[in-house]
Amino acid sequence: MIANRIDHTAKRRYSLRASLLWLLAACILPAISVAVNLAVVHYRLLHDQIHHDTTMLAREIAANLGQASADAADLAAIAALIDRRGLPEDWSVTVLDAAGKVVAASRESANRQSRRPLAEAIGPAPEGSLEVVADDGKRVIASFSRVASQPWTVVVGASKASLEERRTWLIVRVGIGIFAALTLGLWLAAGIARRVAASVSELNEAALALATGKPVILPEVQLAEAEAVGAAILEASRTMATVQQQAYHDPLTGLANRALFEDAFARQLASSERSGNPFAVLAIDLDEFKAVNDQQGHAAGDTVLRIAAERITGTVRASDVPARMGGDEFSVLLTDADRDDAVQTAERLVAALSQPYPDIKIAVSASVGIAVYQAEENRVDLLDAADRALYQAKGAGKKRAVLDAESDPAD
C-alpha cells in the first residue's frame, strides 16, 4: 500500500484534452509570432517600396523637365507633363523653385502656395527622401530630385495614411488567419480527444470484462494504436480462457475436473438450502478398465475414457455438470433432479457406458452410485453417500446403479 501511494504521488498525470491544448498552443504561438513578424516585414517592404517608387518618379520627371527648353517651361506645359504620368490616387507631384514657391503641382488645391518649410527641409541636397506634414495635417512620404537645367526641385509625395491603411488591413488579415487557424486547431483537437476518449472508454469496458471473466468483445475503435491495445486485450482474454480451461477441466476428456465439480456442487448446495429444490450426485466407475490398460496399453485406456466422457455428456442434460474425478472415476451433478430423475439418469448411464468400445477387446461396463439431496436437517454428505452407493453397486456384481439408502428421501 505504501508503495502504491508513493507511486501515485511520484507520477504526474495529464488530461488528454489539456495535453492536446498545450500541443496546440505550442504550435500556434510560434505561428502567431512568425505571422506578426511577416506582417512587420511586409509593412517595411511597402514603406521602402514607396520610397523607391517616389524617388524614381521624381528623378524621371526632373530629367524630363531638364530636357525641356526654357521657353517651354511655362506652367501649363509643366502641369501637362506631370499629368501624363498617371499618378496613383493618393500621390502628388509638386515643382518648387529655389525660394520654395510652387511652380506647378498635380493637385489644383496645392497651386501657388509657398512651400518654404519644405524647401528648407530639402536644403541643398540634389535628391533624397523625407516625411513631411501636408497642409491638411496628414503625413506624407516625399522624395525629391533637382532639375539640372532649371532652379527647380521635383517633389513626389505619397500619403502615409494609405500605407497605414494597408498595414491595418494586413493586421486584420493576419488576425483572421490566426483566429481561423486557432479555431481549426481547437476543432481538430476536440475531435481527436473525442476519438481517443471513446476508444479508451470502449477498451476499458473490454478490460473490465477481462478482469471479471466475462466474454471479451473487441470494440470498433477509431485509432490504430487503440486497435493494437484491443488486440492485446483479446489475446489476453484467450490466454486466460485457456488457463481457466486447463485449471478447471480435464485435459484428456474436456470434462470438468474435481476442483470445478466441487465448486459447482457447493454452489448448488447453497442454492438448494435457500430454495429447497432437489438435486442429486452420481458417482461413476468403469468396470474392467484396469484390464484394458494392462492388456491393450494406456493409449487404449485413454480412448475408453474419451468415449465414456462423450457418452456421459450425451446422456445428461446441458444444465447438469459431468466431471472426471481421476482415473476411471466420473461424477455427475444433476440439477433440479429428484429421486426418480436421478435413478432413471443413472440407469441410462449404465446402459450407455456398457456398450462396446471400438477396438477394445475387453467388455467394459459401468457402476453408478446415487445420492439425493434431502432438505431435512442432519442430512448425509452427498459426495460420501454417492461413493458408498458406488461401492455397493460394485459389490453387488457391477454394471448397475444403486441408490444410497441414507440419502433416499423415500425412506
Please report the sign of the dihedral spanned by the C-alpha atoms of residue 330, residue 334, residue 339, residue 344: negative
Reported confidence tier of residue 2, pLDDT bands at 50, 70, 90: very low
Three-state DSSP string of the chain? CHHHHHHHHHCCCCCHHHHHHHHHHHHHHHHHHHHHHHHHHHHHHHHHHHHHHHHHHHHHHHHHHHHCCHHHCCHHHHHHHHHCCCCCCCEEEEEECCCCCEEEECCHHHCCCCCHHHHHHHCCCCEEEEEEECCCCCEEEEEEEECCCCCCEEEEEEEHHHHHHHHHHHHHHHHHHHHHHHHHHHHHHHHHHHHHHHHHHHHHHHHHHHHHCCCCCCCCCCCHHHHHHHHHHHHHHHHHHHHHHHHHECCCCCCECHHHHHHHHHHHHHHHHHHCCCEEEEEEEEECHHHHHHHHCHHHHHHHHHHHHHHHHHHCCCCCEEEEEECCEEEEEEECCCHHHHHHHHHHHHHHHCCCCCCCCCCCEEEEEEEECCCCCCCCCHHHHHHHHHHHHHHCCCCCEEECCCCCCCC
Residue 285: the pLDDT is: 96
List the chain domain ranges.
33-166, 184-245, 251-403
Per residue in 340-398, pLDDT tens? Answer: 999 999 999 999 999 999 999 999 999 999 999 977 644 568 999 999 999 999 999 99
Nearest 5°: CA angle at 393, between 390 and 397? Answer: 145
Model's pTM, two decimal places? 0.50
Mean pLDDT across 277-288: 95
Reported confidence tier of residue 96, pLDDT bands at 50, 70, 90: confident
Domain 33-166 and domain 251-403, same fold? Reply is no
Per residue in 150-193, pLDDT tens? Answer: 787 888 777 777 777 777 777 788 778 777 877 777 777 777 77
Q: From residue 28, how far is each of 20, 36, 132 by CA, in Å?
A: 12, 12, 40
Reported confidence tier of residue 266, pLDDT bands at 50, 70, 90: very high
Residue 4 has pLDDT above 50, yes or no: no
Query: What count of residues does the chain have?
Result: 411
Residue 70: the pLDDT is: 47
CATH of domain 251-403: 3.30.70.270
Closest CA to 88 of 152, 166, 148: 166
Residue 402: the pLDDT is: 95
Number of alpha carbons in the 13 Å side-chain half-sphere of residue 101: 5
What fold characterizes domain 33-166? Beta-Lactamase (3.30.450)
